[in-house]
Amino acid sequence: MQTVIFDLDGTLADTSGDLIAAANACFRAMGQGDVLDPVGDAATAFHGGRAMLTLGLERIAQEDVLGEVENWYPQLLRAYEEQIDRYTTIYPGAMDAVGRLSDSGYKIGICTNKPENLAEILLTRLGIRSAFASLIGADTLPVRKPDPMPLREAALRAGGDPAKSLIVGDTATDRKTAEALGVPCILVTFGPSGRGVAQLEPEGMIDHFDALPAEVARLIGTPSD
């Protein structure tokens, strides 16, 4: 069965505001104030907590960046969980597209590098968890994207065929994950990288979720095929 697997951060939802806020909570606790900018540093937010801490620590000229990242990462996760949906918004048309694909018979799941428990909390708070038959997070398996195993497992747990799947994402990580599994990738162009994702040479790109069902059908066919 054809299966559509979605990335979460930067693909289904703009989570950058809450991620940046969690990182800045750590920097304030260090006595540094708000080091990261919610707009200017949004792209880094989509690369995860360690990436945000690394950027901020380098910006304040911290000597032991690697050590301090590991020291503060648990606190960042706690801060993020406490305010996980304060600024987060679902991208326009995302859930309409998910509904259309599901109604057409596609299996639907999520494969994210956000820790699984945080993804569960966020999706539940946003009221959309039931729309996805599977959820694979960064710590669900021993490996994470761009290893192909999480994408494969997300398709299997959704009740689909990994060989007839694709991933909808927004970064090079999603592109590499799809390539590793040997399946197509659709990248969205409404994230911080914009149409710059074209440089990653995905099999498909969309400027709005309205275009997703047609791109999915073009790349992996329809459940009636």
Model confidence pLDDT, tens digit, residues 74-84: 999 999 999 99
Q: Which amino acids are annotated catalytic?
A: 7
Model confidence at 48: pLDDT above 90? no
Residues 71 and 104 in one domain: no
Give residue 76's domain range. Answer: 16-82
**Strands in the chain per DSSP E:** 3-6, 13-14, 89-90, 107-111, 134-136, 165-169, 185-188, 204-206
**Does residue 162 lie in a domain region?**
yes
**Residue 209 forms part of a structural domain:** yes
Is the domain of 191 the same as that of 118? Answer: yes
Using a 10 angstrom Cβ sphere, with 0-12 exposed, 13-18 middle and 19 or more buried, the burial of residue 39 is exposed
* Residues 6+ positions from 192 with CB-CB distance below 8 Å: 10, 16, 42, 43, 46
What amino acid is encoded at 150 in this protein?
A: P
The token duo for 119 is 């993804």
Output phi, psi for 67, to 5 deg: -65, -40
Average pLDDT over the chain, rounded to whole? Answer: 95
Residue 225 in any domain: the answer is no
pLDDT (0 to 100) of residue 110? 98
Q: Which of 57, 82, 107 is the last residue of a domain?
A: 82
| pLDDT value for 224 | 72
**Residues 104, 71 within the same domain:** no
Rounded CA-CA distance 144/138 in Å is: 5
Percent of the chain surpassing pLDDT 90 = 93
Q: Residue 193 has what pLDDT?
A: 80
124 and 134 assigned to the same domain? yes
